[in-house]
Every structure is written in structure tokens, then in C-alpha cells.
Amino acid sequence: MTRTWQISTVDDAARARIAAARIAAAHGVPTVERTRLVTALSAQLRQCLVKGGDWLLTLRTAAPTGTRCSGRLTLAIDAAANGEGHRPSWRASADVPSPGPDGGGGPPGGPRGRSAFADALLSADEDTSRVLDLLAEQEQLVAFHREELHQTNQGVLALHAELDAAGRVQRELFGAEREARTEAESARRRLAFLADASAALSASLNHEEILDRLPRLLVPDYAGSVDLWLFADDAGARGHTARPAAAVAAARTGRPQYAADHPGGLPGVDDLPPSALHPREPLLCVPLPTRHTPLGVVTLTPPPERWSADDVVMLVELARRAGTAIDHAQRFEHNRDIAETLQRALLTDLPKTPGLGLAARYLPATHGLNIGGDWYDAFRQPDGGLVAVMGDVTGHGLHAAVMMSQLRTALRAYAVDGGTPGRLLTRLHVFLHHLQPDLYATAVIARFHPDETTVTWAAAGHPPPVLRTPEGEVRVLDAKPGAMLGIPLDQEIRDHTARLPPGSTLALYTDGLVERRTQGIDPGIRRLAEALSGERAADLDHDLEGAADRILRPMLRDSQRDDDVCLLLCHTDHRTAPLISGQASA
């Protein structure tokens, strides 16, 4: 449907406006939308009247289509002179729920007469009243929502306040947890350091090594510098070293002292004025205690970060452990010196015999008191023969050394009466079994005589002798030995003989030289044979002592020295008259 109005005067404009409003109402355009449309039309018509001239108002309604569920009402205004097909000067439209009756808008010219205008004006006021009612409802709704929004904002503010308080509490808890975690980590670090340092200090039995390790453990994490004062060293020194007053006080009282220009407030530590020797630097002086009196005092300067109370507690405990480790090391060194002196006293000097060179080496084990039951000996018999002995008493310590001494003395006494090596070992076996039933020993005896061209030997549970010929050939004298000395068994130990031309070398040794825990004894005997065969005949003639050192060197290269080591070389010198001149016996 299309309607057209020509507008030249105010009356034309009013009639057109009234007609458009009624047509929109007839087509069911909602009040607010209709009021908005008619208001826009009135404003546009006012502008047309101001401009003057003739204008055309066109109203078109369109029924719903397949793509739209409602109709369309369109208003357009243009100058009357533009004609058809020209773009209108103004256009407005609105959706209509229904097409409405064709005559709903009245004649094209609109209403006539003053009564019609009045009726139209009142109708417009009704629309305005409806709009105002709707506006009032919306204002009430807005006021309601504003109140709800205000209440919501108050709740949000309260929630924010609670969240802020909860956040502060959580931050405080996180801070406390972080502080506790940091403190726990520091405590763990201190305990780990104390355990590692204690292990490092107690791992050594050399007090000088412990004194050298302690500063390296403390600097730079727990001390800027470390000064160690041992009373025994100071007493033995000729000069006098100035010591801080705090160190002297720690030595006198046995309590840790802290010397600084302000109190340290450290647990278990006495505060003193600054040291005259170090007035600008705080000093922590901690005694090195033992079971009776302090051994000395360790004086520390602080690290870049000052000591905490827990650090000082840890340092005092470390000093206590260091004092114990130093005390144990000094006691061990004292006992070791006694043991080594005793061991050396039990090993006699080798006799000098024309035509027969002797060279011996004894190396104590590197662990323990360095004293054991290994021994070597060589002495002459009344008939002119020379007896070479290599023995090993089971066990270590003073008890084994005393038993070794008794066996050596008994063997020398038996040898005065004469007798072959086998007979001497048999008598020694009976002696040990009755003297000390729970102690055993191994031994090998070799007898050299100037009237014989052989060496007579016998062994009781001992590694076999190794013989090198003048040509450099080496063989192991592994004839069946007797059982260990002292075992509860009656035995007669047999003698064996071997040819011994001038230039021959016989090696007697203990198992500490050839035995390794992971390899057994046979590979060690082969290494000894190789080392002995590698020596030149001239070197054995001229420098038997050097040969003993050269043989030991490769043998001990991979050894942990868990056992004593003995080696006795017996060399017949071919440069002199033969020791013996005859035929070998089987």
C-alpha cells in the first residue's frame, strides 16, 4: 500500500503527520516505536516548512516475505520537483506486526476540520502518556536495579575487604612459611656441613693433616680466616707468639669468647671488648676440648655475612669434634711411634758373609698401629751354615709382635743345636702349639752352607721361595710345604733342596707382598718372578739393596698395604770363591 501527501502549508504537514500516525497505529506498530517514528517525521516536516516550497510525503507498507516474519512501514520525504526515481531527502521505517486495513489511514489528504485536528492532538497526547508511563516503569525498574547494584557493590566491597584481609593473612603465612623453609634449609645445610666436616676430620690419623683441613673447611662460608693455636706446639716453640686476649680467656676458662666493639649476644659465648691485636675485626675464639683439658684454641674472623646464633652453635660443636679428632690422632701417632720403635728393635741386622749377599725390606701396613707379626732373620749356625728365615704370625698389634719375638728367639735357640730347616720348623710348631694354642704362624727357612752346592729349605704354610738362576731363569720352589705352625696336628715338616750355583738369587717374602684381595696369591707370585727375572746379574752382584727396592716398586704400585710386607734376597756372588763346590742333591 502506498500513500502520498503534498505538503505546502502547516495544515498539510499536520494532516500528513496525523495520517501517518493513524496508519502506523492501524498496522499495529508499538506505541514507543510509533511515537519515535512520528516524532522524527514531525521534525523533518518542520524543516521542510522552514525551507519552503512543495514537498511530497510517501508512506509505503509491505507485507511479510519469506525471509521476514513481519511487514515493513516506510516514510520518505522529498521535494515535489524531484520526480520519481530520485533518492528521497529523508527516509524512516518501522516493522509492523500485521498489514492492517487498507482504509485505516483515511483519505490521502488526511483529516479535515478543527475537530479532527483536536482529536489528533489528543490522540498524540495519549501516545505521549503511554510513552511517559513506559518511561516511568523503566525509571522504576532502573531505580530498582540501581538499588540492587548498590547492594551488590556494597557486597563486592565487603568481599574485596575480606579478600584483601585474607590476602594479607595468606601473604603473612607465605612469608612465615618461606622464612621457616629458609631456616630449615639453613639448618639442613649446617647439619650437612657438620657431618661432612666431621667425617673429613676423623678420616685422618695425622694431626697435622687435620689442622690443615680445618681452615679449608671453614673458609669462606663460615669464617674469613682461621688461626689454630695448639698448646703443645706453642710449648715446644722457642719464641713466644702474641695471642688475642679472647683466645687466652678461652684457653683459661674453656668457654667460647667473642671480642668485638658491641656484644654479640651469641648463645654460650662470653662477650669481651675488642682485641688489641685486631681492634677493627670481631673475633670468635673457641677452645678445642678433649676429655680432660683443651688442646688449643681456634680463632675465627667472621665471613662476609655475620654469624647467626645457629652458626655459632654449629662452630662450637665442630670445634669439639675437631679437638676429639686431633686428640685421637696424637694418641695414635704416639702409639704408632712406640710400635714402630718396637718393631724395628725386633728386626736384627743381617750378618755379613763372604760370597753371600743379603738384603731385606720390611714395610708395615698403612692402616692400624703399623705393627704386626711379620719378621725376617738371618744368623749362623755352629757348623758354619747360615740360616735365613721369613715368618708371619697371624694377627696384628702388640700381641702378634710379642709372639713373633718369642718365635724368633726360640728358633735361634733351636738352631744352636744344629738341625735342618725342616727339623727346626717341626720343633717350632710344637713350641707354638703348647705356648699359644689359639695363635698360628707361617714360616720358611733356607740354609746355606759353604761346603754344599745346594740350598736346603722347608716351609710351613708359607708362600714358596722364588729362585733366580745366574742365566736369569726364575722358578718357584713350590714343593709341598708343611701345615701352619701351631695348628692342633702332629707333623714332621720335610726338607727340600735346590741347586744353587754362584750368581743365583733366592727371594723369601711374606704374603703381604704378593696377595691381593681380588686376585689371590698366584698372580702376585708371578709378578714377583717377573720382577726378579728382569734384574741384571751385574746389578745383583754390585747393588743388591737397590735391586730389593726395584723389585718392591712394581709390586706395591697397586697395593693398599693392608698387611705388612717383608722381602729377603739371598744372592750368591759369582765374583768371589764359590760358596759351595759340589753336586746338587735331590
Give me the long-range contacts of 449-452 (CB less than 8 A, separation at least 24).
Answer: 449/383, 449/384, 449/385, 449/386, 449/580, 450/355, 450/384, 450/385, 450/579, 450/580, 451/384, 451/580, 451/582, 452/580, 452/582
Task: Say if CB 266 and CB 258 are below 8 A apart.
Answer: yes
Task: Say if CB 261 and CB 333 are below 8 A apart.
Answer: no
Residues of the chain falling short of pLDDT 70: 66-69, 82-88, 98-114, 116-125, 234-240, 339, 343-344, 346, 366-372, 396-397, 558-562, 574-586
Buried b (16+ CB within 10 A) or exposed e, 12-42: bbbbbbbbbbbbbbbbbbbbeebbebbeebb
Cα–Cα distance, 564 to 582 (Å, whole number): 38
For residue range 263-314, list pLDDT tens digits in order: 888 888 999 998 888 888 899 999 999 887 889 999 999 988 888 889 999 9
Cα–Cα distance, 391 to 432 (Å, whole number): 13
Cα–Cα distance, 404 to 400 (Å, whole number): 6
How many CA atoms are closer than 13 Å to the CA of 104, on its beta-carbon side? 19
- Residue 336 pLDDT: 73
Cα–Cα distance, 526 to 463 (Å, whole number): 12
Nearest CA to 189 out of 322, 321, 308 is that of 308
Nearest CA to 313 out of 268, 247, 246 is that of 268
Cα–Cα distance, 393 to 406 (Å, whole number): 11
- Residue 65 pLDDT: 72
Residue 379: partners with Cβ closer than 8 Å, 6 or more residues away:
348, 351, 386, 387, 412, 415
Cα–Cα distance, 10 to 17 (Å, whole number): 10
DSSP type of residue 255: S
> Around Cβ 426, how many Cβ atoms within 10 Å?
22
Nearest 5°: the CA angle 238, 296, 243 is 60
One-letter amino acid of 2: T
Domain with CATH 3.60.40.10 in the chain: 347-572
Domain at 347-572: CATH architecture: 4-Layer Sandwich (3.60)
Cα–Cα distance, 452 to 175 (Å, whole number): 95
C-alpha distance from residue 520 to each of 203, 393, 523, 554 (Å): 28, 19, 7, 17
- Residue 83 pLDDT: 56
Rounded to the nearest 5 percent, the helix, strand and coil shares of the chain are: 45, 20, 35
Question: What is the layout of strands, in order, in the sheet containing 454-460?
Answer: 372-380, 386-396, 441-448, 454-460, 496-499
Q: How far is CA 555 from the centre of its chain?
A: 38
For residue range 310-358, list pLDDT tens digits in order: 999 999 999 999 999 999 988 888 877 776 777 667 677 889 888 899 9
Domain with CATH 3.30.450.40 in the chain: 204-339
Residue 446: partners with Cβ closer than 8 Å, 6 or more residues away:
387, 388, 421, 455, 456, 457, 465, 506, 508, 570
- Residue 68 pLDDT: 64
DSSP type of residue 516: B
Identify the sign of the CA torsion 322, 323, 326, 329. negative
- Residue 462 pLDDT: 94
Cα–Cα distance, 404 to 339 (Å, whole number): 14
Beta-strand ranges (E) seen in 341-431 are 356-363, 372-380, 386-396
Cα–Cα distance, 268 to 313 (Å, whole number): 8
Which phi and psi angles does 178 have, rounded to 5°? -65, -40
Buried b (16+ CB within 10 A) or exposed e, 366-382: eeebbbbbbbbbbbebe
> How far does the chain reach from its first CA to its final CA, in angstroms?
151
Helices 398-416, 421-435: crossing angle, 10 deg rounding: 140
Domain at 204-339: CATH architecture: 2-Layer Sandwich (3.30)
